[in-house]
Amino acid sequence: MGTPVNIIVGSHVWVEDHSLAWVDGEVSKLNGEDAEIQTSNGKRVVANLSRIYPKDMEAPAGGVDDMTKLSYLHEPGVLQNLKIRYELNEIYTYTGNILIAINPFQRLPHLYDAHMMQQYKGAPFGELSPHVFAVADVAYRAMINEGKSNSILVSGESGAGKTETTKMLMRYLAFLGGRVATEGRTVEQQVLESNPVLEAFGNAKTVRNNNSSRFGKFVEIQFDKQGRISGAAIRTYLLERSRVCQISDPERNYHCFYLLCAAPQEEIEKYKLGNPKSFHYLNQSNCYELVGVSDAHDYLATRRAMDIVGISGKEQDAIFRVVAAILHLGNIEFTKGKEIDSSVPKDEKSKFHLNMTAELLMCDPRALEDALCKRVMITPEEVIKRSLDPLGATVSRDGLAKTIYSRLFDWLVDKINVSIGQDPNSKSLIGVLDIYGFESFKANSFEQFCINFTNEKLQQHFNQHVFKMEQEEYTKEAIDWSYIEFVDNQDVLDLIEKKPGGIVALLDEACMFPKSTHETFANKLYQTFKNHKRFIKPKLSRTDFTIAHYAGEVLYQSDQFLDKNKDYVVPEHQDLLSASKCSFVAGLFPLLPEETTKSSKFSSIGSRFKLQLQQLMETLSSTEPHYIRCVKPNNLLKPAIFENVNIMQQLRCGGVLEAIRISCAGYPTRRAFFEFINRFGVLAPEIVEGNHDEKVICGKILEKKGLKGFQIGKTKVFLRAGQMAELDARRAEVLSNAAKTIQHRIRTHNARKQFIALRKATIHVQSLWRGRLACKFFESMKREAGAVKIQKNIRRYQARKGYSKLRVSGLVLQTGLRAMAARKEFRFRKQTKAAIIMQTRWRCHRASSYYKKLKRASIVSQCRWRGRIARRELRKLKMAARETGALKEAKDKLEKHVEELTWRLQLEKRLRTDLEEAKTQEITKLQNSLQSMQIKIDETSALLVKEREAARKAIEEAPPVIKEKQVIVEDTKRIDSLTGEVESLKASLHLEEQRADNSERRYAEAQESIEEKQKKLQETEGKVHQLLESLSRLEEKLTNLESENQVLRQQAVSVSMAPNKFLSGRSKSIVQRSAEGGHIVGDPKPALDMHSHSIIQRDHPEVEEKPQKSLNEKQQENQELLIRCIAQHLGFAGNRPIAACIIYKCLLQWRSFEVERTSVFDRIIQTIGNAIETQDNNDVLAYWLSNASTLLLLLQRTLKASGAAGMAPQRRRSSSATLFGRMTQSFRGTPQGVNLSFVNGGLNGGVDTLRQVEAKYPALLFKQQLTAYVEKIYGMIRDNLKKEISPLLGLCIQAPRISRASLVKGSSRSLANSAAQQALIAHWQGIVKSLGNFLNTLKANHVPPFLVRKVFTQIFSFINVQLFNSLLLRRECCSFSNGEYVKAGLAELEHWCYKATDEYAGSAWDELKHIRQAIGFLVIHQKPKKTLDEISHDLCPHTAALSNQYNVLG
């Protein structure tokens, strides 16, 4: 576009900038081919001369309306001119007869009112400011005057304003060619009102535009002989059908769906609609409403537009019924049916939407379900009906929705064309093409391929048109133009559309073969166009390809090319909708004759689109084209923002820069003779002063400066690219020399005048300063003499004052030191006395502790001996349990034992019931007898009271003279007899009370005996429960052994029967179990991956082996990536091990559990084994224990035996029969604290939601290997901790001898005693510190709490055994003082258990019961006064061995 010659220092130029595209600056330095430039934004850059362009400093401040008038026609000049005009709200600019329209993103009503249209009516082109009305007027006048059809091509990217520009064009054409309506609806009204209808059904919100047209539109406006509109037709291209079923955030689906959801309430109830969020085709994006747009208002406006274009109310109802049916169709979900690979509606909600879809389409619901879920295959022998799986049914559903919507849109376009009507007698038309611009996104599919193909075609047409205009300009001025070069893009078009080897032809060929995939299509492209300069194969992809378009390279993804190119209707869908009771729906799917169906050829979107594009280009070629390039100034869609880089890209995509390049290939700079002489006359003033013709003067100036290649036309001077810059440089040089001469004279005069004035002023200043210096010297002498006197007096005063202060300070200091020495002596004597008391107490305590430790050591020795015997028995039991026969015998014995215990339990229950009944009867009898005795006592008391009352009355009634009569004697006898009866009754009452007390005592004794029997019964029930658990574990182990034996037999049989010509499968892994722990000691060898069920034969052709090999290579790559991933420390997310979750999801995704042979399990086990080789690193071991246990739990929940493995009896009640399996039998129930929700939210419901997988032999073997590794890691961690605390336990069992000797020798060794105690406490604190560090390590790696509790339970049991055995084996440790020492250490352990909480410590403290009881023996006061029975039964019931008690007590 230019040449960098004549760039000198001081030239104003344009230089590239990564953020602003181009920035202006001034050349400050030249260095060969490089120039140093000071930019206007303050930066200093260095650029090559070939990369900079001159800047026109004399350009108008408001820019030029036609960029061909620019002095420098290059990219920065064009960009600067557009920016200046955009800032002044001048959004239209010409480039020749090409109109560039920049979207203002705001309303400018003054540009489009009726007054403006009246001004541009009939005005010559270029007389008024650039406007879209001017282009339309030129096309209309050319059609009227020349009788030739014209076309207006509007292009630009989404959001650039193409649709609005098209509306303005049709408004102006309707203004020019409209007529008064006679029937209520005119053609121009129908043309204008067709836009809302097509926008509602063909436009949608995209990332770049809220109202983006997702189809191409060519409107043909027909005119009669009088220039009035007589008809119109609309053609559409490439509707984006995939948007109906799939949208991305924050885009929206087509407007019509949202308009219908915002319809009046009666419409919503009629179609059973609701909020757009409730529909699957709409809720894939979070955008449901547009800012400043009312969907309800637009719905009514669309209805009115349908009325104007001639769509009846009945047809409108049918249209929106079809739209509602598509929404309901998208909500139908499918799940697996009862048959294999079948599908049915998922739930009642899906069935409701299925019925609503059938109701709206007026078809049978059952037939609709069959059409979605089944396919009919017709063979010569029979008709086969095949069921689809849920994924296939979903694809069928989406295909039906896209087909219905596409047919509906085509029907709307045809209806609008029929309603508007075409004039068959019209010979003149103006076509307005609203076409999508060049698109290049991160992901480009088939739609972008067709869009860019269209733009390539239009760009070729545009280049030819621009080249033609240049030819006309040169012919008009009568200059030579035969050497101008024209670059064509025909090679790109041949790459795309050439037959038979173009991309479209290869795509159609691939679509006709059922087995073709996007991989085979991409490989075909790579082979066909590997040497094509416009076709590029990416390095990191096997299915993508790149095409070098005129606007840049675009990377296409071929994944969906085949599906989107196929243009056919499923026969089941065609038959279903053709039989619809709704005539509108049936009309969308007319029945085709059988002959047509059988003889029809393959149809594709690409071929149909190419044919439509060919017809469009023929139409454009037969018309006179006019171009409007729409530009979007920014991606924020806001006014007053001008993004240079974005606009440069759009100008490049729109072909504007290509047109400038064509112009620059000829004569880009054109100046009238007067303008040229006025600007460059200073280069040859002698020629201008002469009386010559302007044309002659221009020629002589150019010849004088030595320029070549220029042309002088009739009215203008035509300069080649760079010649204008060279002339400007020469002009700037002449003006610069003249300015330098003037500056030289002025600077000389000013310098001499300034020198004379400066010399005169200097002499005057010197005289003044000399006098001033003399005065200052005299003043300084006076000041110096006065300062000496003042210093002498001040120094004397300061010396005296300092001496006085020092003397007083010495006296105060002496007094304080003497007082401090006295206080220190007193404090020393006081501390000495207190220390003697403390030493006395401490020696007493130490002697007592030594006795307790000695006693505790004997108990520890007893416990260790018993533990040794128990381990021997356990080892024998383990050896016996490995034999299947021993397991069966143990099982039979346990069953008999259980039956015996059950019988005993029932007997005890029956005896307890009989005892309770007898007790109840006895209590009832005693209560009855007690009541009867109470009644007798009451009656006797009442009789006694009556007798006393009678005796009293008789005494009162007797006369005062007492006579001896017989009656009185009788009364006295009677009283005596009554008194005797009362005494006897009292005796009997006392006897009954004693009997009642005895009964109550017997009742209490019976109650106590019943409670004792109940306790015994509960203990018996506990033993029965333990025996049942043991029996269940033995059954589980027996079942597992039978399953493994059966699988191994079947595997051996299958291997022996395999033919030699097949490839070998999985290599055998030698799995051995150790004698005690059951760990895997064999090293599993890597095996081949055999995910495919078919076995590849060696003699197959190489072509058939390539897909399988590529699949195996891909699987090997995935496995390598997984192994590399898990070999690293991935950490945890939300208390969950990431590595275990990744391994499980990968194995589940690859279906590795369901294959007969695979090597991924061996590689995972080998990775875990390599990671735990360093047994001393507890952090690594804890990390792999967390991952391995989590993965094992997932496998327990997921895997279930299949085939031979499933033939074993289903009687599994625990996870494993090994020691670790019995310890973690709660695996299947998800132990407390184990959270197995996956990291990426794929398993929100925990392990209960895991689906069961039919596991093959490798998966079962992997589970057993993983179990063995969990046990191995667990044992390594436990043993590491034991090794760490074992030395400390040996130091903690016995107090130092010096502490015991100090009790005898007095306080002379108190310091050594305290040091020994500190050392002992340090050992216990070391144990606590080791336990704390170990717990922190397990917590940091999120080991399940139940494993942590088990570890600490065993560790504490180990501590208990070590300490107890030490007491038993070392009698010198069984002393009172030693017991006190160990008791203090146990208190430290108890404090640690309290801080660790029950979640991690569990019942670990209870494991120390034996050592605690032994220490309790040692610290008992007055032990000799107590008997052995009291100590053994009351204080320590768990110590049963009498010899151990003697050892501790001794």
- Tokens at 1006, concatenated: 């019976």
d(CA 1243, CA 1247): 8
Which helix (H) or strand (E) segment is 1340 a member of?
Answer: helix 1310-1340
Instruction: Kindly tell me the sign of the dihedral angle through the C-alpha atoms of 500, 506, 512, 513.
Output: positive
Structure tokens at 890: 């143990």
- Give the dihedral sign, CA 434/438/440/446: positive
The number of helix segments (H) and strand segments (E) in the chain equals: 42, 26
Distance of CA 247 to the CA centre of its chain: 19
Tokens 């220490």 — which residue? 1415
Is residue 1356 within 8 A of residue 1405, CB to CB? The reply is: yes
Beta strands in 225-362 (DSSP E): 229-237, 334-336, 343-345
**Quick one: tokens of 541?**
């992809």
Pair of tokens at residue 799 = 């010396």
Of 1013, 955, 1042, 985, nearest to 1260 by C-alpha is: 1042
Question: What's the one-letter identity of residue 1188?
Answer: A
- Is residue 1428 within 8 A of residue 1445, CB to CB? The reply is yes
Q: What is the DSSP letter of 566?
A: B
Structure tokens at 1022: 């506990």
Kindly list the catalytic residues: 158-159, 163, 209, 212-213, 437, 439
Could you count the other beta carbons within 10 Å of the beta carbon of residue 423? 17
Contact 326, 260 (CB under 8 A): no
Give the HSE-up count for residue 532: Cα atoms under 13 Å, Cβ half-sphere: 24
Q: What is the DSSP string of 903-972?
A: HHHHHHHHHHHHHHHHHHHHHHHHHHHHHHHHHHHHHHHHHHHHHHHHHHHHHHHS-SS----HHHHHHH
- Tokens standing for residue 567: 């243009």
Q: How far is CA 1003 from the centre of its chain?
A: 73
Closest CA to 369 of 409, 329, 314, 404: 329
Three-state secondary structure string covering 741-801: HHHHHHHHHHHHHHHHHHHHHHHHHHHHHHHHHHHHHHHHHHHHHHHHHHHHHHHHHHHHH
474: Cα separation from own chain's centroid:
63
Q: How many residues does the chain have?
A: 1450
Nearest to 208 by CA among 753, 541, 646: 646
The encoded tokens of residue 301 equal: 């406006």
Residues 6+ apart with CB under 8 A from 1033: 1213, 1214, 1217, 1221, 1222, 1225
- CA torsion through residues 394, 396, 398, 400, sign: negative
Torsion sign over Cα 152, 155, 160, 166: positive
- What's the rounded Cα separation, in Å, for the pair 1075 and 814? 85
Contact by Cβ (8 Å): 1368, 862: yes
Non-local (6+) Cβ contacts of 298 within 8 A are 196, 200, 255, 259, 262
Element (H, E) at 12: strand 12-17
